Structure formats: C-alpha cells, structure tokens
Chain A
Amino acid sequence: MSLAAALRTADATKLPSRRDEDWRWSDLRGLLREIPPLSPQIEVAGRGPFAGVASDELAFGNGRTSSGAEYSNLAIMGDETLRLRFVSDASASSHSSFVAIMVEEGARLTLLESYEGQGSAYVASVEIALEVERDAHLTRIVVVDEPADAILVSEARVVLHPGSTFHQTVLTTGGKRQRIETVVTHPGAGGSARMDGVYLVSGRRHADITTEVTHARPDGVTSQLIKGCVSDQARAVFQGRIVVAQGADGTDAKMGHHGLILSERAEIDAKPELEIYADDVACAHGNTVGALDEEAIFYAQSRGIPEVDARAMLTGAFVGEVVDRIEHEGARDVAQAWVAQKLGGLA
C-alpha cells in the first residue's frame, strides 16, 4: 500500500488507510475516493530556496524533468552540492517522480532538496533511493513548502555502507495530508546516521515525519532530534522507529522528539519505538509534548519584551536547536531564515 503504487496504477484501493498501523494518523484512503488525473507538464522557473548555496540542479516540474522523464538516476563522485527540486503547479491533478542517487565510495554529496508547491488540491508522490557507498558522506537538507490543500508523500529509502555517514534535516510546514518518510538500512561498522527534523504547522494543516532505521550489524551510530510546533487546529505526527537486529551489538542510538502545542485545538501524535534484539547496545529515547512555559513568557515580558515577541523568541529557540546542528553553513543559513519566516506565521 503506497501512494506511489496507487498513482502508478490509478487505483485508489492501493492507498494506505487508517487500517495500516503505520498510516493510522495519516490516512489517505479516507481522503481520496479516486485518483485525480495526471498533472500537466510545466517549466520549472527560478532556482528555489537553495539558489545561493548550490549551482547544480535536478528539477522536476509536476513530476517530470525538463526532458519529460519521471525517473532520474545519478552517480556522484568527488565532492558535490546539488539542488534537488520538486516543483508542483497543479490543480486537482496528480503526479509522481522517482530519483535514484548513488554516492560512490569516498564521495561527498550535499543534497539540498526542496518541495515548492503552487496551485491547489493536487496529489504528489516522490520516491527517492539513496545509496551511500563505503566511506562516503551524504548530507540531505529538505525544505517543504506546499499549499494548505495539497497532498504529498515523499518516501526516501537510504542504504548505508560501512564507514559512511548520512545526516538529514527535514523542515516542513505540512499540507492537507503530508508525510515525509525516511527508511534507512544501517550497516553499523562505524557508519553514522542523523535524522533530524522541524515541523511548524498551522491552520488546519497536517505534517507527518516518519523515520525508520534498521541497524543490521554491530557498531553503528544513529542520532535523532525532531522538534516542532503546532498551532490553530493543526496536527503533527512523528513516528520514529529504530530497530537493532540480533547481533548488532555496540549500536549507539539516540532518539529525541519534542513538540510544542501552541493552541488548544492543535494536536501532536508521537510514536517513538525502539526495537532491540541485540544484547550490548546503548539506546535512549526521549519524547515530550507540552506548551510554552508561561512563566518564562511573563519573565521575558517583565523585561520589556512584548508577549508576541516573547513567544516567537522562545519557540524560535526551541526549534533552533535542531537547525543549529546543520554543519553546512550555507544550508544552515537558509534553514534558519526559513524557520524564522515560518515562525512568524505561527504566532
């Protein structure tokens, strides 16, 4: 059951539904009675949110590259920074795309991925296959900016090899129904994965960050910090699963999810899961959902900071911790500016 499969076959019965445990908070079947027609091909304009950070780009407009392909396949050698853009401009139609990127042995890729949506009520599916070969490094920064009534599912399958690193940060404001999913196969053996994220969801939007990491063999590291805020009647979902297979001793895995609920009718659903089948591991998870500290707000006010600014300052500091972990300076600057701008819409 997946959106990609449903779009490929124009068969709505293939959509994930609330009966699928992993989709119960992000049901698509109940939302879409039938698959909308294919979106028209469009020219991709501009250079996206990471314009100043990288010059090379791979762009999809309504699911297709400029040559009309729904599929693209890249191999990275050396040290590269690439913009990967999924641009939608559609109305009541659907599109899907697929990208496979291989980061070759010892190579380094900074992947600056953006979802740039215009129009309304479209359905978009993106599948990404990433393979990070031995001693290679992949940094993936994802910025998702979609219309309030668009449906988007982005599914990344990441395969790591010994000695490789994978650092990911997802930033999203959600959509009508939206999931950003990352599934990582971790070889252990000195490999390291980081899967961070920020959600800032307002109005009646929905954002779902789902991750799964499977440590198949010994001595792998995973660290995760997801933070976010919901306001109005918005809803955020975090599902994080870390599986440590039998024999994957020496695994070091940390998962943290912390959410702020800024209004009474907003909601955060979180399911952190550690499944550990090995004996000698260091695994920890922390999960908190709460409100802003009203005493801290008053304290800031008593120093002369108006309430609205005090709230923005504290929420900004709350999610800022995640963005500060981005090592790539240019990407971090873009992420910080993006978060500051989106927080303005949340107050």
Chain B
Amino acid sequence: MLKIQNLHVRVGETEIIKGLSLDVPAGEVHAVMGPNGAGKSTLSYSLAGRPGYEVTDGSASLNGEDLLTLDPSERAAKGVFLSFQYPLEIPGVPGLTFLRTALNAQHKARGEDEVAAPAFLKMIREQAAALKIDFEMLKRPLNVGFSGGEKKRMEILQMAVLSPRLLILDETDSGLDIDALRIVSEGVNAMRSPERAMLVITHYQRLLDYIKPDRVHVLADGRIVASGGPELAHQLEAEGYDKYSKAAA
C-alpha cells in the first residue's frame, strides 16, 4: 500500500532523511521508532506534503500512485491522514464546520457526492460518543483552548470521519495521560482494517502496548537501520537507542 524508496528530504540546508525505504502493506500496522532528531517528524511531514520539506531524491507512493507530486489536500483526498503531534488551533472555525468542509472537499476531489448535513451530523455524533468527546465541544473553534488530550481525541475523530487509507500517527501519545491514551488507542484500533495501512511514529514503546504493531522499524540518522517484529520495541525500551545512534554515526 505505502511504498517509500530511497527517500531523501532536506529542510533548509540540512538533509534529514537520507535514503529511507519502507513498505507498509494494506492491513498492517508498522511502528517507526527512533531517538530525538532521527527524522521521525520529518518523515511524517514529508508524506503529508508540508511546505519547506524538500524531497531531493527517491519516491513515495500509495497504491502505486505517486504522492510526492501532489499538494497536501490532494494527498488527503487520496487517503493520506497525518495525526499531528501538536494539532493546530483554528480560530473562529467550529470543529463541525472544519470537518464538514474537509470531508466535502475530499468528496469533491474524488468526484463523489457531498455528504448531506443530517447524515454528517449522525456520523459525527456516533464517532464523538465513541471517543467520549462532548458534542458541544465540536461547536467551539477547533482546538482553541483545548487540552493536549482533547486535541488528540479531535485528531482521532477527524481520522474516523475522513476514513483515510493511510494513517500516520506522529507521536500521538505525547501529552496523554493513561486514560486519554486508552481512549485514543481504542479509536485507532477501531480503524484497523484490511484496506488500511498505519504508520505509528513514536519515541516510546508505551503506545505500542495499546496499538500493537505488526512490524517495528528503527529510524536513526535519516534511515531505517533495523526492522523486526513487536519484540524489537521491547528490546529498544530495555536497551535504548544508543547502539543505533552509534551505528548511524
């Protein structure tokens, strides 16, 4: 489903991703772990198409379609969803308005019909209840004044409503207490499906107790330096990233 080959990404003058290759087949959850500064966030931003992240070489495709030539909204319409480590505040735009605008923009881009208001509201109410989000909160400007945990739950709500094919979770556990982590993880797990691929980017193994990966990759100095099964995450938790950082250096 997601195929990344020899990806090189520069931010400003600095090359951050240096020849990264990764395959995430449909139906699988892959974790990317690594020390601070390894390029984890750069990888997620590059896939989402953030301005300033310049791909200098390599390729990334979703179901055989090149992602790198598309702008961020086109990638979203193709099914890419990035859950931000630090979700942005959108002043003056209620969550409901934002989400309906996004959903209909994606439908339009794919040549599908708009979702009518009643059907949209019904869907949102169900998803919000599952994530224990008070419906009233969706009438407030998106993320403005929300706690870290509330913002992350809003990310998962957006993910559930937009129903993407590739989910990229960037440090989704940061800033979450145990209860919020459980709710968020359940939301993510509910989206596991044979038609979806997930890339879980995290520094700590903790999140992977809740979202169980099929494969674990170690990212150090802009490359995947080791890959293995779920046991690799536990090994990293016990031993730290030192040996990979040294190997990369």
Chains A and B form a bound pair: yes
Q: A317 in the interface, Cβ–Cβ < 8 Å?
A: yes
Produce 1/0 per residue, A295-306, CB < 8 A to B.
110111111111
CB-contacts of A296-328 with B (<8 A): 296, 298-307, 309-310, 313-314, 316-318, 320-321
In the assembly, what is the distance between CA of A217 and CA of B51, in Å? 55
Q: A264 in the interface, Cβ–Cβ < 8 Å?
A: no
Q: Which residues of B contact A317 (CB under 8 A)?
A: 90-93, 141
Listed in ascending order, the chain A residues whose CB lies under 8 Å from chain B are: 293-296, 298-307, 309-310, 313-314, 316-318, 320-321
Please, could you name 26 A-B residue pairs with CB atoms under 8 Å apart, sorted by A?
A293-B88, A295-B88, A296-B89, A296-B90, A298-B51, A299-B90, A300-B98, A302-B49, A302-B75, A302-B84, A303-B81, A303-B99, A304-B76, A304-B102, A305-B101, A305-B105, A306-B105, A307-B71, A313-B98, A314-B90, A314-B91, A317-B90, A317-B91, A317-B92, A317-B141, A321-B92
Closest to A319 in B: B92
A302 adjacent to B101 (CB under 8 Å): no
In the assembly, what is the distance between CA of A191 and CA of B9, in Å? 61
- Residue among B50, B51, B102 having the largest count of chain A Cβ atoms under 10 Å: B102
In the assembly, what is the distance between CA of A321 and CA of B72, in Å? 28
Q: How many residues of B contact A (CB 8 A)?
A: 32
B92 adjacent to A301 (CB under 8 Å): no
Q: B109 in the interface, Cβ–Cβ < 8 Å?
A: yes
B76 adjacent to A320 (CB under 8 Å): no
Q: Which residues of B contact A294 (CB under 8 A)?
A: 51
In the assembly, what is the distance between CA of A293 and CA of B143, in Å? 14
Q: B103 in the interface, Cβ–Cβ < 8 Å?
A: yes
- Would you call the interface of chain A mostly helix, strand, loop, or mixed? helix
Q: Which residues of B contact A302 (CB under 8 A)?
A: 48-50, 72-73, 75-76, 80-82, 84
Q: Which residues of B contact A296 (CB under 8 A)?
A: 88-90
Closest to B80 in A: A302
In the assembly, what is the distance between CA of A119 and CA of B72, in Å? 43
Q: B106 in the interface, Cβ–Cβ < 8 Å?
A: yes
In the assembly, what is the distance between CA of A67 and CA of B15, in Å? 75
B105 adjacent to A304 (CB under 8 Å): yes
Q: Which residues of A contact B73 (CB under 8 A)?
A: 301-307, 310
Closest to A306 in B: B73
Q: Which residues of B contact A300 (CB under 8 A)?
A: 90, 98, 102
A320 adjacent to B92 (CB under 8 Å): yes
Q: Which residues of B contact A306 (CB under 8 A)?
A: 71, 73, 105, 109
Listed in ascending order, the chain B residues whose CB lies under 8 Å from chain A are: 48-51, 71-73, 75-77, 80-82, 84, 87-93, 98-99, 101-103, 105-106, 109, 141, 158, 162
A301 adjacent to B76 (CB under 8 Å): yes
8 smallest A-B Cβ distances: which pairs? Answer: A317-B92, A304-B76, A301-B72, A304-B106, A303-B102, A299-B88, A301-B73, A306-B73
B77 adjacent to A304 (CB under 8 Å): yes
- Residue among B71, B73, B76, B88 having the largest count of chain A Cβ atoms under 10 Å: B73
Tell me which of A295, A298, A307, A314 contacts B93 (CB under 8 A): A314
CB B12 to nearest CB in A, in angstroms, measures 15
Q: Which residues of A contact B82 (CB under 8 A)?
A: 302
Q: Which residues of A contact B80 (CB under 8 A)?
A: 302
Q: Which residues of B contact A310 (CB under 8 A)?
A: 73
CB A136 to nearest CB in B, in angstroms, measures 33
Closest to A321 in B: B92
- Residue among B51, B91, B92, B141 having the largest count of chain A Cβ atoms under 10 Å: B92
Q: Which residues of A contact B101 (CB under 8 A)?
A: 305, 309, 313
In the assembly, what is the distance between CA of A304 and CA of B162, in Å? 9
In the assembly, what is the distance between CA of A304 and CA of B100, in Å? 11
A299 adjacent to B93 (CB under 8 Å): no
CB A345 to nearest CB in B, in angstroms, measures 20
CB B60 to nearest CB in A, in angstroms, measures 15
Q: Which residues of B contact A298 (CB under 8 A)?
A: 50-51, 72
In the assembly, what is the distance between CA of A320 and CA of B141, in Å? 12
Tell me which of A299, A304, A307 contacts B87 (CB under 8 A): A299
CB A229 to nearest CB in B, in angstroms, measures 13
Closest to A324 in B: B92
CB B13 to nearest CB in A, in angstroms, measures 20
